[in-house]
Structure 1
Amino acid sequence: MSSPDRRSRTLLAALLSLVTAVGLLTLTTGPAAAAATGQITGLAGKCIGAAGGNTAGGTAIDLYSCVGDATQQWTLPGDGTIRTAGKCMDLSNAGTADGTKVQLWDCNGTVAQQWIFSSARDLVNPNANKCLDLTGGSSADFTVVQLWTCNGTGAQKWTVPTSSGSGFVVTEAQFNQMFPGRNGFYTYSGLVAAISAYPGFAGTGSDTVRKQEAAAFLANVGHETGGLVYIVEQNTANYPHYCDWGQPFGCPAGQSAYYGRGPIQLSWNYNYKAAGDALGIDLLNNPWLVQNDAAVSWKTGLWFWMTSTGAGSMTGHNAMVTSAGFGQTIRTINGSLECDGRNPGQVQSRVDAYLRFTQILGVAAGTNLYC
């Protein structure tokens, strides 16, 4: 990217202070820093990896579809480095100028290999005080990443893997117990990866509140998907109904492209637009990402949970962290069809799932379970 009028960010000291406060990826060493391994995704939900799958020192890092390439698996060991194939993400010649090549190199402990994941989802090299960036702001396959002045654009927004020590209160064993018959698409690793986009999810308040929120979210999405079985809406006759041509952006993916998908069954062109804008992913033009990429799919569910008041007066997240109760999450998600006696059987199904999940997590369910 080469715009000359990009604004620089805060001074390095302020940045380090901010990141230390949020604690997403700190430059700590020793056993207290838990390792995390997984994909790093950027624009269009694509992954970064070594160009051509090469692992030699000096290999450029680029963006391409998440294909399971071994070099698309990155480890964040907690010491500030980002590693794959036994090498580190490195700035060529320890450069600090805009356009500096980002490459694989033997890990050497230098400032050229230190990265901080900020609360704004930037990957920042603190020595240069600049961000990991997609050249030209492009999401095309094989777009090379580079160092560039931080500017807040989607080309600098990343989702990084989080570790089992990241604070998520549901273990993989508990997740499997909750959804024994789930579709393999709904992976635990995809959910954990998605949480990095919304670290406040199941990360706010006491241990009890965090477990209650996790149980509430999973109970609702389990209900929406038949126990995490269905990835897409089953009634195909509804598919053409979710295009609102009154929106200025229209329906570029087609009249029938915005049907329900994912754990929250995201539907309507305006919801795909809003979710994509929030996540830095073009879901308006490529809604199929929600049914093809587990991490993107989970992110759309968390986007709704954390940001939308839906048919209620508060987000699902706020309902749980303020002790308004599980019933308010039902009202937010489907209150106009289920609450106030409209469909008590559906409400009871959600409550039953929530009670079962809180029992699995060993936490009280709280009050105000119904709407």
Structure 2
Amino acid sequence: MKVRWRRAAYAAAGSLLVGLLSVLPASPAAAATGQISGLAGKCVDVAGASAANGTAVQLYDCNGTAAQQWNVGSDGTIRALGKCLDVSNNSTADGAQIHLWDCVGGANQQWVVTAARDIVNPQANKCLDVSGNNSANATRLQIWTCTGAANQKWTAPATGGGGTPSGFVVTEAQFNQMFPGRNSFYSYGGLTAALGAYPAFANAGSDTVKKQEAAAFLANVNHETGGLVHIVEQNTANYPHYCDWGQSYGCPAGQAAYYGRGPIQLSWNFNYKAAGDALGIDLLNNPWLVQNDSSVAWKTGLWYWNTQSGPGTMTPHNAMVNGAGFGQTIRSINGSLECDGRNPAQVQSRVDAYNRFTGILGVSPGANLYC
């Protein structure tokens, strides 16, 4: 295993900064149509059945009219009356209202329907929400930080798109092909169970971009763990080095408790604190969860991928979604030791895995593979 560098928590705990530059087609592909129901069994409704730009989207008694017939497309749009479900003013703030607008391909018109019945706008990483938890007719819909509450749970038509029952673009057979000698701890079920923590992961942009991001994550994970073999850092002499006593919370699990674990080899007490805070898991006091619970381990990898820039200038998620290329994911994970000619063999190992995995998924690897 390579030497770990001091990964600082560059983003606020729980934040997810994503950008979507995909241009959407004029009509949704592989769409399913029907009502979207939620709080008190009421439906997502276009006020007055008006197709005018800016028309309020609200909660209302389900009535089967065209104002409540939504096309949930595999392209990420949700449409009614020929217009798109849109976050007002391209806002990412809590309380930003939802209305109907011409479909223009903006990130504020992208939505992910999760297995947990959330409808998430990846740009804001916030959920479709009934304002004030009020089930009265004509209550406005908005986006809000995802809480898991009943006013953020929806029953929507299936997209009718491809993929797996989990919604992940990598099938279990493909996963097993990528990692033929993997440790059973790194299970496919553990990975798919973790996806709900970051619903924008491998779920933004075109099918090609989604598969490229999944391949990029798994290629880096492959390198970090020796092909999903190692659960913990192999050099035990490093273990006592990952405690920063300059942090106010110290190292309550012990001086040597914060060694590298999991698919991205999470290390340092401050990273266990930040990841745990973001995921709602007390990893500062119980870092061993990362080596004992497959889903928790995968969640820490997804936390880093989606929220941390490391020694780079962008999160690995942003690098793939915004077209910066696989090389920038290497820079964000271990650029200070590998990029700019520091360790070309390590970079090549990551690139080789990425090329192999995109081949398994049947997509081009894209440009800018090196850092």
Compute the TM-score of the two structures, normalised by the length of structure 2: 0.60
How far apart, CA to CA, are the structure 2 residues paired with 1:180 and 1:332?
Answer: 27
Structure 2 match to 1:215: 215
Q: For 2:239, give the aligned amino acid.
A: Y
Tell me the distance in 2 between the aligned counterparts of 1:121 and 1:295: 22
| Residues 118-149 of structure 1: per-residue CA shift (max 9 Å, x gap) | 64899x999x879xxxxxxxxxxxxxxxxxxx
Spell out, residue by residue over 1:14-33, the C-alpha distance to the aligned partner (whole angstroms, 9 max, x if none). x9759xx9xxxxxxxxxx9x
Is 2:361 aligned against 1:361? yes
Letter in structure 2 aligned against 1:167: G
- 1:156–1:255 CA distance, 2 compared to 1 (3 A): farther
Q: Name the residue aligned to 2:258.
A: 258
Number of aligned residue pairs: 249
Matches within 5 A, 1:88-237: 116-117=117-118, 119=120, 164-237=164-237
Contact conserved, 2:311 with 2:333, CA < 8 A, in 1?
yes
Match of 1:239 in 2: 239
What secondary structure is seen at the aligned counterpart in 2 of 1:256?
coil
Deviation at 1:164, TM superposition (A): 2.9
CA contact 2:126–2:146 (8 Å) conserved in 1: no
Give the aligned residue type for 1:233.
E
Distance 1:16 1:327 in 2: 44
Residues 319-330 of structure 1 aligned to structure 2 (within 5 Å): 319-330=319-330
Contact 2:164–2:170 under 8 Å retained in 1: no
Q: Report the AA paired with residue 302 of structure 2.
A: L
Give the percent of matched residue pairs that are identical in Structure 1 and Structure 2: 72
Cα distance in 1, alignment partners of residues 218 and 200 from structure 2: 16
Partner residue, 1:317: 317
Distance 1:285 1:275 in 2: 12
Can you give the 5+ residue segments of structure 1 that lack an aligned partner in the other structure? Answer: 1-10, 22-31, 33-79, 83-114, 131-150, 158-162
Distance of aligned partners of 1:16 and 1:267 in 2 relative to their CA distance in 1, 3 Å threshold: farther
Residue type at the aligned position of 2:281: I
CA distance in 1, matches of 2:276, 2:240: 20
Asked whether the 8 Å contact 1:269–1:284 carries over to 2, the reply is yes
Alpha-carbon offset, residue 308 of structure 1: 0.3
Q: Could you list the per-position Cα deviations for residues 161-215 of structure 1 after superposition, in whole angstroms to 9, with x for gaps in the alignment?
A: xx93343110000000000000000000110110111110000000000000000
What amino acid maps onto 1:297 in structure 2? A
Q: Map 1:249-328 to 2 at 5 A.
A: 249-328=249-328
Alpha carbons 1:116, 1:125 under 8 Å: kept: no
Distance 1:156 1:275, change over 3 A: farther
Q: Distance in 2 between matches of 1:254 and 1:16?
A: 51
CA, structure 1 residues 193+335, in 2 after alignment: closer, same or farther (shift >3 Å)? same
* Partners of 1:121 and 1:197 within 8 A in 2: no
Contact 1:154 1:280 in 2 (8 A): no
**Contact 2:239–2:256 under 8 Å retained in 1:** yes
SS at match of 2:197: coil
Change in CA separation of 1:17 and 1:278 when aligned onto 2, cut-off 3 Å? farther
Q: 5 Å matches for 1:44-63?
A: none
Q: Which amino acid in 2 is paired with 1:199?
A: P
Return the alpha-carbon distance in structure 2 between the equivalents of residues 279 and 353 of structure 1.
Answer: 28
Rounded to whole Å, the distance in 2 between the matches of 1:185 and 1:125 is 39
- Separation (CA, whole Å) in 1 of partners of 2:134 and 2:230: 44
Distance 1:270 1:156, change over 3 A: farther
Query: Which residue number corresponds to residue 142 of structure 1?
Result: none
**What TM-score results when the alignment is normalised by the length of structure 1?**
0.60
